[in-house]
Structure formats: C-alpha cells, structure tokens
Amino acid sequence: MAYTPTVWKDGDIITAERLNKLEAGVQNEQVGPQGPKGDTGETGPQGPKGDTGETGPQGPKGDTGETGPQGPAGAGGAKGDTGATGPAGADGKSVKSITLTADGTGKVTGGTATLTDDSTVPITVTTATA
C-alpha cells in the first residue's frame, strides 16, 4: 500500500494515530521511488577498421625441366640354332596330361607326359646357360 503523506497546518495536534501513520509510511518506503531514467548520452563514432594488409602475388611456378630424348632401340638378337629333332611319335597321339617332378626347393627337375593312348613319355628339363 502506497504511503499518502499528511498535509500539516499550523495548530494541528500531533496525535499517536498521526505519528503511527508517519512511522508506517517511513517503514514501507525505506527504498525511495525510482528516479527518472538518466540520459545515456550519445555513442561516439566507431574507429577506423584496422588494415589487414594485402595478399601478395602468387610466386612463379617452378621449372620442372625437360624430358631428355629417348635413346635408340637396341639391335635385335641373333637367331638361335635349330633344336634337335625329337623322337618319332605314334601317329594320331597327343598329350593327355603332364606330371612334373620338383626337388625340395620347388625347382622342376623332370616329369612324365601321358598320351591319349595312355602311353607315357619322359620329360627332360634342361637349364639354359647365359
């Protein structure tokens, strides 16, 4: 409840009732009323934006050099000797299967070819010399 002050005139009698009203008003109004809003003033001008500088130009691309000319092709090798004539085979026979034999290192050392008439012929392995 808001306090309404007593308007005093000369000759008014101070009574307990009026003093109690005054005391109650003072107690309720310990915090004064809010004053008028003050002037906030003006905002000053914004300062200049800092210079971020410029990005420099891109440097030149590095030289990768030139590819040299391709050399000439090597000369062809000499024709090899004609191999020895193999043993005469039976007419109309062809290889049906081959079984190879290898040593402990996996190197093929020989084998057997089985022909279509179930006959067999040995396979000999030779090593070329360089």
68 token code pair: 């040299």
Tell me the whole-structure pTM to 2 decimals: 0.30
- For the ranges 11-15, 63-67, 85-89, the lowest mean pLDDT is seen at 85-89
Contact between 106 and 113 under an 8 Å Cβ cutoff? The reply is no
95 token code pair: 């290889």
Rounded CA-CA distance 91/119 in Å is 13
Rounded CA-CA distance 66/115 in Å is 60
Rounded CA-CA distance 70/5 in Å is 114
Rounded CA-CA distance 97/86 in Å is 19
pLDDT at position 31:
64
Each residue's pLDDT tens digit, 108-123: 889 999 988 888 999 9
Rounded CA-CA distance 76/99 in Å is 36
Rounded CA-CA distance 122/113 in Å is 6
